[in-house]
Each structure stands twice: as C-alpha cells, then as structure tokens.
Amino acid sequence: MPKAEKILEKFNLKKTNFRLELVELFQSSSSSLTADEIRQKINSTNDKVTIYRALTAFEKKCLIHRVPDKSNLIRYALCQKECNQTHHKHNHAHFICNICAKTFCIEDIKLPQINNTSGFKISKTQLTLEGSCPSCN
C-alpha cells in the first residue's frame, strides 16, 4: 500500500484520488502550502470547496496544522509525530521567509514556557520568526 494511502487509513480519513494527491503534496513540500498553491499543484481537482473541505478534515484529524503567513492567508503544514489523532500538540516555532514568503516549521526551536499572569490565562503561545530561508540565503 502506498504511504499516502496508509496515512489516510491511519487518520480515518476518506480515501479519494484527490486526498491521496494532497497527502503526497504535503509530504513532498519542504515548507507549507496555501489553499491557492494547493489548487495550482493538484491535478485531480480544481474545486475550491473540495480542497477546503479536505483541508478542514485533515486539520481536525491532526494531519496538518495552520501556520502563520506573511500575507495572513490560510496556510498549512504537515504535523509531526507529536500530534495524535484527537488533538494537536505543537511546541515548535514557525519561520516566515521575507524573500520567498514561505512559512517553515522549525522543530528544533521549542516555545518558552510562559505562565499565566495577573488574571490573564494563556491558552496558546506562538513564536513566529522572520528572516531569509536556506534557499533564499
């Protein structure tokens, strides 16, 4: 069984040619993808709704996660082993390249542990770094 098919099965996601192609696209992408980039790269469908629906399902099952984007577009990256199938568990920084505008997951930079302070309850901590990526340097 091809790897993408195994992944859809493991995450209990409906198997279609498009979804297989989508998993493969995420796996072969070194950074992250916006919905428009996905639409341009996918051959099996051009339908925005189908793409959004698959992305939403993938995110819910913790196969992909939203990452920050330079132009505030919705952008996704593949989750690492840290996420299980019921909830995301991220502890890594994201890097936005100011030249190519791609966003990368930086797994070896962990988020600092920040505690609640004077009545403010923290539910989410994010660390976004900016600069130039290895292929733009």
Which residues are at the interface with Zn ion (CB under 5 A)? 62, 65, 77, 79, 83, 88, 97, 99-100, 105, 133, 136
DSSP state of 77: E
Q: Which is nearer to Zn ion, 4 or 77 (CB)?
A: 77
Cβ of residue 16: shortest distance to Zn ion, in angstroms? 22
Q: H or E element: which one contains 122? A: none
Q: Which is nearer to Zn ion, 47 or 107 (CB)?
A: 107
Cβ of residue 105: shortest distance to Zn ion, in angstroms? 3
Q: Which is nearer to Zn ion, 28 or 116 (CB)?
A: 28
Please list the alpha-helical segments (H only) found in 48-130: 48-60
Q: What share of the chain is helix, strand, coil (3-state, %, to 5)?
A: 30, 20, 50
Cβ of residue 62: shortest distance to Zn ion, in angstroms? 5
Spatial separation of the C-alpha atoms in residues 41 and 67, rounded to whole Å:
19
CB 74 within 8 A of CB 66: yes
Q: Which residues contact 126 (CB under 8 A, 6 or more apart)?
A: 68, 94, 111
Q: Which is nearer to Zn ion, 43 or 123 (CB)?
A: 123
